[in-house]
Structure 1
Amino acid sequence: MISGEKKYIWQQDDWPRWVYDLKRLLPLLSQVHLAQGHLLGRMHDVGMELRDEATLRVLSMDVLKTSEIEGEKLNLESVRSSIARRLGLDIGALAPADRHVDGVVDMVLDATQRHADILTAERLFGWHAALFPTGYSGLARIRVGAWRDDSQGPMQVVSGPVQRRRVHYEAPPAAMLDAKLFEFLRWFNAPHDEDPVITAGIAHLWFVTIHPFDDGNGRIARAVGDMALAGADHCVQRYYSVSAQLLRERKDYYDWLERTQKGTLDVTDWLEWFLGCLLRAVQGAESTLSAVLAKAGFWSRWAGVSMNERQIKLLNKLLDGFDGKLTSSKWAAIAKCSQDTALRDISDLLAKGVLVKSAASGRSTSYELTT
């Protein structure tokens, strides 16, 4: 344990008696609730099928981005397929199962779909085991489904090469974990007088400050925060992704965590930043809804046009935000067909007016949806 000065927040005598200036946060809280209410109201009006589509998009982003924050990139198709399997949604052909992807999906869905259930140590252990199904983080073997034991030294968040390593944070010693997690879980599961969005911000900070696992603490902290937000929305369907917004603001996210973890128990500044980030996430979800509505409008417009499975699959990829330009070679690769078959598919859609040649094709001809 660190001796001498009290460098970290958990060394404060009153930790974890959090304090914050509610009066200062109220204007931002009002904006967050107004934006949440507006988004939920719009989603209520679009029908179950479109709500499912929006939820699939948002949950896919949540799983992708909470991993990407930690520098790990998952495959979008594998994530979408894993979520669709678990929610019973028909999205056509499914990608093969990937147990690592499935583990992150299981954690995110358990946190949001079962937000009303009590959060226990056993449940957290299950999330952790799902994140690390092989028992390894990269090449390092870690304790899975159990609190860390600090056998390799104190838990530190570090960056930089070994010779110039910078310690951003050192977590409480392993000997304190049982007591500190018991205290956290008792608070998290108890009825709260405070605004549930405030609860989400404090829960996120509190859990990642305890840092109870060898690895995966950030992802689990974000899942805990999402669990609180799902409870605040009283809704198992998710229409905005905090993790996606945190990735956009990753440097600020880490800076604010480090600053707060080295500060006092007054967490007003952290909550102000967290609420701002949440507000931007909710406001950004309007683009998700617009994309869902545009996709529905597209298929309504072309409902009477016959298409084969390959054409439907590729058109849905374009509607979901195709990366780069669609060429006949990409069509053949994605649809797993020959170049000749891809050209026939494309020519058919050109003749029907569904696709047009892109004006900015460059060397190779590319195609886009008719506007």
Structure 2
Amino acid sequence: MIWNWTQPDWPQFTYDAASLAPLENQFLLSSGEVIGAVRHFKDEDRDLLRIELLSDEAVKTSEIEGEMLDRQSVQSSLRRQLGLASEDRPVKPQERGIAEMMIDVYQSWHTPLDHPTLYRWHAMLMTENRHLETIGGYRTHADAMQIVSGRHDKPAIHYEAPPSLRIPTEMESYIDWFNTSAPDAGLPLPPLTRAGLGHLYFESIHPFEDGNGRIGRALAEKSLAQSLGRPSLIALAHTIESARKTYYDQLERNQRTLDVTEWLAYFAGTVIKAQKTTLERVAFYIAKAHFYDRFRGRLNDRQEQAVARMFREGPQGFKGGLSAENYIAIARASRATTTRDLADLVAKGALIRTGERRHTRYALNLD
């Protein structure tokens, strides 16, 4: 099988820059919208927004790899990392590790990339992992590094990365490319082109035993932040996870060629979609703040608990809307109490009711 790194011109990727120019322009315009939207927040609210967006990305970048994390635990760990008040709740090593890495990426976006940074991120992600030979360093095992699926006795090989002996040299070249392609360096590249190339390039080297996907997406965030001159805070992992199969299909196809125009167009479209998702989420958090301003002190403990649970579902809310059964489970209330509580929430304008009888559903009134 011919992989990109086996070809004579590796790692000289080629692409049609002219076809990507409109996407680059759209990205810069949308970036202004995102930055402007975040400026509407007060400092305290901006901290809360940052926690919300970072925790979303932490959970989703892990979900892409099939690892399910507790969002509230991740948020608690993020708060501690940022020196903010947090709940005293148990946090698993995986949740603490991804939170530490997200904060490190967020705070060190402007610094050049180097080996210690990548080692540090890997050590954070693999905290207390007992199954890897090397943690906080590049892989050294002699076995082939393959991406496979299917039956154990008849696996489908989607990709095979360079052997471990080549990794130090490959990563030296990668870091040099990353730093010299930065906006203020010798060979600057447009934002989406640089982020897309950087992600594919890194995933093709696959330098670690595990965690390459999460670190590769962190590198894309760092690249975009350097192009914008500030942390991007866009929902990149959230957007990739929503169409995970397409993401992996694109990676697989474009790891067999050095002409990566298709990959860059896909990645650029994904980033732009992520910006739109971020704007929607920012609007949602603004509406959330206004909601609590309107109803502060007007809801009982059960109603507060149910409303908080509804907000945790995000902009889409409960699938199909909140039912009475949902409320009973969340508030641990009787059916009669639930009926009174929901009717009161509708009368106060906190919830909107639709449907009748067993089809009755409720949604937050965020107008």
Q: TM-score, normalised by structure 1?
A: 0.85
In the other structure, the counterpart of 2:244 is: 250
In the other structure, the counterpart of 1:295 is: 288
Q: Deviations over 1:126-147 (max 9, x none)?
A: 21122122223xxx44421222
In the other structure, the counterpart of 2:135 is: 144
Q: Indicate how the Cα distance of structure 1 residues 366 and 194 shifts in structure 2: closer, same or farther if over 3 A, else same.
A: closer
Q: Is the 8 A contact 1:135 1:142 kept in 2?
A: no
2:12 is aligned, of 8, 12, 17, to: 17
In the other structure, the counterpart of 1:33 is: 28
Is 1:267 the equivalent of 2:260? yes
Q: Deviations over 1:243-262 (max 9, x none)?
A: 11111221221111111111
1:47 and 1:60 map into 2 onto residues whose CA distance is 20
Q: Is the 8 A contact 2:324 2:339 kept in 1?
A: no
Partner secondary structure for residue 160 of structure 1: strand
Partner secondary structure for residue 144 of structure 1: coil
Unmatched tracts of structure 1, length 5 or more: none
Partner secondary structure for residue 189 of structure 1: helix
Q: Which amino acid in the other structure matches residue 196 of structure 2?
A: G
1:115 and 1:34 map into 2 onto residues whose CA distance is 21
In the other structure, the counterpart of 1:133 is: 127
Q: Is the 8 A contact 2:74 2:91 kept in 1?
A: no
Is 1:282 the equivalent of 2:272? no
Q: Indicate how the Cα distance of structure 1 residues 234 and 345 shifts in structure 2: closer, same or farther if over 3 A, else same.
A: farther
Q: Is the 8 A contact 2:145 2:161 kept in 1?
A: yes
Q: Which amino acid in the other structure matches residue 138 of structure 2?
A: W
Q: Which amino acid in the other structure matches residue 229 of structure 1?
A: L
2:84 and 2:122 map into 1 onto residues whose CA distance is 26
Q: Deviations over 1:169-206 (max 9, x none)?
A: 11001111111111111222232421133211111111
1:161 is aligned, of 137, 148, 151, to: 151
Q: Tell me how far 1:292 sits from its aligned partner.
A: 1.2
Is 1:195 the equivalent of 2:187? no
Q: Tell me how far 1:360 sits from its aligned partner.
A: 4.4
Q: Deviations over 1:287-311 (max 9, x none)?
A: 10221121122122224x3556665
Q: Indicate how the Cα distance of structure 1 residues 368 and 125 shifts in structure 2: closer, same or farther if over 3 A, else same.
A: same
1:109 and 1:362 map into 2 onto residues whose CA distance is 47
Q: Tell me how far 1:213 sits from its aligned partner.
A: 1.0
2:318 and 2:90 map into 1 onto residues whose CA distance is 21
In the other structure, the counterpart of 2:215 is: 220
Partner secondary structure for residue 153 of structure 2: helix
Q: Indicate how the Cα distance of structure 1 residues 368 and 17 shifts in structure 2: closer, same or farther if over 3 A, else same.
A: closer
Is 1:318 the equivalent of 2:313? no
Q: Which amino acid in the other structure matches residue 11 of structure 2?
A: P
Q: Tell me how far 1:114 sits from its aligned partner.
A: 1.0
Q: Which amino acid in the other structure matches residue 202 of structure 1?
A: L
2:191 and 2:354 map into 1 onto residues whose CA distance is 50
In the other structure, the counterpart of 1:78 is: 73
1:84 and 1:329 map into 2 onto residues whose CA distance is 33
1:115 and 1:53 map into 2 onto residues whose CA distance is 20
Q: Is the 8 A contact 2:221 2:232 kept in 1?
A: no
Is 1:114 the equivalent of 2:108? yes
2:306 and 2:195 map into 1 onto residues whose CA distance is 39
In the other structure, the counterpart of 2:48 is: 53
Partner secondary structure for residue 115 of structure 1: coil
Q: Deviations over 1:194-252 (max 9, x none)?
A: 113321111111111100111111111111111111222222361x2111111122122
Specify which structure has the bigger relative contact order, considering alpha-carbon pairs within 8 angstroms and separated by 6 or more residues: 1
Partner secondary structure for residue 158 of structure 1: strand
Q: Tell me how far 1:350 sits from its aligned partner.
A: 4.1
Q: Indicate how the Cα distance of structure 1 residues 271 and 368 shifts in structure 2: closer, same or farther if over 3 A, else same.
A: closer
Is 1:96 the equivalent of 2:87? no
Q: Deviations over 1:92-130 (max 9, x none)?
A: 745422221010111122112211123222221221122
In the other structure, the counterpart of 1:42 is: 37
With 220-229 and 312-321 compared, the bigger mean Cα shift is at: 312-321
With 250-259 and 294-303 compared, the bigger mean Cα shift is at: 294-303
Structural RMSD (CA): 3.0
Q: Indicate how the Cα distance of structure 1 residues 84 and 314 shifts in structure 2: closer, same or farther if over 3 A, else same.
A: farther
With 31-40 and 319-328 compared, the bigger mean Cα shift is at: 319-328
Q: Which amino acid in the other structure matches residue 174 of structure 2?
A: F
Q: Is the 8 A contact 1:328 1:346 kept in 2?
A: no
Q: TM-score, normalised by structure 2?
A: 0.85
